[in-house]
Structure 1
C-alpha cells in the first residue's frame, strides 16, 4: 500500500487538528475491565543514493526510482485492566494486515514484575525489539534487531523480578498471522535476564543476556537484512535459502547507560543454524553469523529516560510547545560469511564455496528527532552503508547473485550506498 500525496495530506491534517492526549483514550468499564484505546500511525520517506545495486528494485518495490514513500504502520490497540490482577490487549496493524499483541496477563500478587502471560507477545531476546516502537531512537531498527529479533509469537511466558532485575522465560510457536517460508516460525523457547546495578532517576546502568532456540519452518532458513532502510527492496547481504536445517539458536548480550540527557546503548547477537547431514558436506555444515551495534542519544532539551521491566521508557517533553529534541548516532555491523573459497582448477572458471558467503555490512546512522507536544514525532536520518559480498561472473550473463548453497564465486563486490530517511508519526 503506497501513501499518495493526497492521503498523506489528509493524515497530517487529521493529526494536526486532533486533540492532544498523551495517554490512551479511556472508553468504558466492561465486565470490571477498564477498556482503553491506543493508536500509532507512521509515514516514511526514503531517498536512495544507490551504488552497485539499485536499492529500490526487488520485493514490493519494483519501480527502481530513487525515492519511495509509504504508510509504514497503522496500529490500533484495545487494552483492558481488570478484573482483579488481569490485563489484556488486542492489537492490529491495518497497514501490514497482521495481528500485534493479542494476549492476557495475570500479575501475581498484583506485582507487574511477577506475571504469567498467554497469547501472542514479543519474545524475550532483544532490548530494542522489546522497547516501544513509537520511541525508537532511529527510523530503521538496528541490523541485529531486524535480523535476529524474534518478535511476536504465540506462546506462554513467565516473568519474575523487581525494579533492578528480571528473569523471563517463554515457550512459543508460530505467529497469529501466517507468513510464507522461510520465515523463522517454528516452535521454540527463550529466556532473558536483566540486571540494573544502578537504577536512579537520570542515572541507570542496565545489563542483559538472552537466548532463543527454535525449530526451522519447513527445514529452511534464510538470513538477510536491508541496508538500514525499511523501504528498500534489496538486501545487500543474504545467506540464501539454507536447507536441511534442524534448529536455530541465538545468544545475545545487551548494555545501556543513561546519565541525565545522554543514553548509550549496545547489543550483540551470535546465531547458529544447526543443519543435519544430507550427504552433501557443503550443505550440512552449521552456519554461524553475528551482528552488533552501539548507539548514542542526546536529549538537547535536557529530558532523561525512565526504566521499567528491563527496558528504557521515554517521557513527555518538559516544554510541550517547543517539544523535546534529540540527536543520535549509531554504528551497526553484520557478518554473514561462514565459508571458504575453493579455487577452481581452471583459472577462467568460477571457484566454489564450502559453506556460506552471505556478505558483510557496516553502517553509520546519524539522526535528529523532535517530539512535539504529546502526540507527534518527526524523525530525519542519514545512513552511510559499507558492504561487500561475493558474486559469480560468467562471460554470458555477467554478475550473478548466488544466494544459494554451493554457489560459484570469483568476484567480491563492494556496495556503498547512502540513504536519507524521514518519518512523520502520530500516536495516542
Structure 2
C-alpha cells in the first residue's frame, strides 16, 4: 500500500487544486488535506503551503462575493431612489380638473384657481290681453367668473355679467377668510342672505324665473358677513350698504342688516327636510325712498305686473323691514317647496306706514330616477346630476313641475297691485352642464297696479350651459 502513497498523493493534490472554493467545497478540501497529512502522503511543509494557498484563495473569493453583493445593493438603492424621485416629482405637480369645469389645485392644496361661467338664452311668446307685452328673445345671463383659494384659508371670487341689462355688470366680487371653529368672514359685493330661492343659484332654481315674492329680496350689495354651518344647519348675518338693487342719492346711501338661519333635521341621500327664516332691516338713507315691482315671471317684457311706483313716484320711507319663512321637502324624485315673504314700511312725510306680502308653493317630480341635491351648510339647493347621461347611452334627467305664486302690493292708498300666477314647467338635464327648460305661465288675476285686469298667457323657453 505504501508503494501507492505517492500516486495517491499526486491524485489528492490534483483534486485539492481543482476543487471550487465554496463553503461546502472548503470543508471537503480541508478534510482531504488533513487526511493526506495524517497518513504521511504529504509532509508538514507541503501541508502548510497548500493550506495557506487554500485560505488565501478563500479570502479572495469572499472578497469578490462581497463586492458583487455590494454592487447589487447599490444598484437596488439607485433604482429605488430613482423611483422615489419620480413619485416626488409627480406629487409636486398641480392637479388639473377638467371634468365639467376647469380648476387647478396645487400639490399641497394650499392654492386653487378656477374659471367658469354660464350662458342662459331665453325666448318668450306672450298671448296678449290688455297690455302689449310683445315677443322676443334675449341672453338672460352671460357670466364669467374667476375664483380660488389662497393659503388654504382665503377664498376669492370675481364674477361679471356681460348682458348689459339692469342686472349686468359686477355680480360677485368678494374675499373670504375661513376662520377656525368653522366661521367664515366675507367682505365685498355678494347676495344678502335672504330666501331659499334667492340663495339657490339661478342655474338650479326649479323654473326659468323665480316666483313673484322674489321682489322682496334685497339682492346683491356691498357688505361684511359672518356665516357658519354644517350638513344640517346654516347661519349667516351681515351689514350691507348699497348695491345695484338699492339705488341711493346724496352722501348717505343708507344701511342694511340681514340675517338668515336654516335647519335640515333630515339630510341624507334620499330625503331632505328644510326649514328656514330670514329678517332684514334697511335704512333708506338720504334718498328716503324705495320701490317694489315685478314682471309677469317672464323677463322678456318691460311691463311690470305689480309696481309700487304706479302713482309715478317711489314710496317715501325712512326705513323698512323684510321677513321671510321657507320650507322644502325632497323625497327621492319628489320636491315640495314654498316661501312666505313680506315687508313692513315706516313711511315719512305724507307717506303712511304700509305692509306688503307674498308667497309661492311648488311641486316637482322627476320622470327619471333622479333627484335634487342640497347643501346643508349653505341652506340651498345645488345642481342636478343625472344618473343617465346623454352621449353615454342615457336620456338625461327629466322633471315636471307646477307653481302657484301670489304677491300683494296694495295697502290703503298704495295701489301697487295684487297678482296670482300659475306656472307649469318641464326641465331636461342631458348632463350636469346643460339644461333646457320650457314654462307655461298663466296670469290668473291682476288686481290693481299698472296693468289691472291684464291676464296674458306666456310661453317661455331657456337653453343653459354652465362650466
- Which structure has the higher relative contact order (CA within 8 Å, separation 6+)? 1
8 Å Cα contact 2:203-2:383 kept in structure 1: no
1:421 paired with 2:460, answer yes
Q: Which of 286, 290, 295 is residue 357 of structure 2 equivalent to?
A: 290
8 Å Cα contact 1:85-1:110 kept in structure 2: no
**TM-score normalised per structure 1:** 0.78
8 Å Cα contact 2:135-2:300 kept in structure 1: no
Aligned to 1:26: 103
Aligned to 2:318: 246
Name the structure with the higher strand share. Answer: 1
Following the alignment from structure 2 to structure 1, what is the Cα–Cα distance between the partners of residues 221 and 421?
29
List per-residue Cα deviations over 1:266-288 (Å, max 9, x = no partner).
Answer: 01101012112x2xxxx321121
Q: Which of 408, 414, 417 is residue 356 of structure 1 equivalent to?
A: 414
Following the alignment from structure 2 to structure 1, what is the Cα–Cα distance between the partners of residues 274 and 163?
34
Aligned to 1:153: 221
Q: How many residues align?
A: 354
Aligned to 1:222: 291
Following the alignment from structure 2 to structure 1, what is the Cα–Cα distance between the partners of residues 403 and 265?
25
What is the deviation of 1:387?
A: 3.0
**CA RMSD across the alignment:** 2.3
What is the deviation of 1:242?
A: 3.4
Aligned to 2:433: 375
Following the alignment from structure 2 to structure 1, what is the Cα–Cα distance between the partners of residues 179 and 269?
26
Following the alignment from structure 1 to structure 2, what is the Cα–Cα distance between the partners of residues 258 and 266?
12
Correspondence 1:26-425 to 2 at 5 A: 26-27=103-104, 33-55=111-133, 66-96=134-164, 97-109=168-180, 111=182, 114-145=183-214, 147-175=215-243, 186-216=254-284, 218-240=287-309, 241-276=313-348, 278=349, 283-308=350-375, 309-321=378-390, 322-339=395-412, 355-390=413-448, 413-425=452-464
Following the alignment from structure 1 to structure 2, what is the Cα–Cα distance between the partners of residues 235 and 127?
23
Following the alignment from structure 2 to structure 1, what is the Cα–Cα distance between the partners of residues 245 and 308?
25
Following the alignment from structure 1 to structure 2, what is the Cα–Cα distance between the partners of residues 214 and 153?
12
Aligned to 2:60: none
8 Å Cα contact 1:103-1:119 kept in structure 2: yes
- The higher radius of gyration belongs to 2
**TM-score normalised per structure 2:** 0.72
Following the alignment from structure 2 to structure 1, what is the Cα–Cα distance between the partners of residues 106 and 211?
39
List per-residue Cα deviations over 1:58-89 (Å, max 9, x = no partner).
Answer: xxxxxxxx311011111001011231211111
Q: Flag structure 2 segments of 5+ consecutive residues without an equivalent.
A: 1-96
What is the deviation of 1:179?
A: 5.3
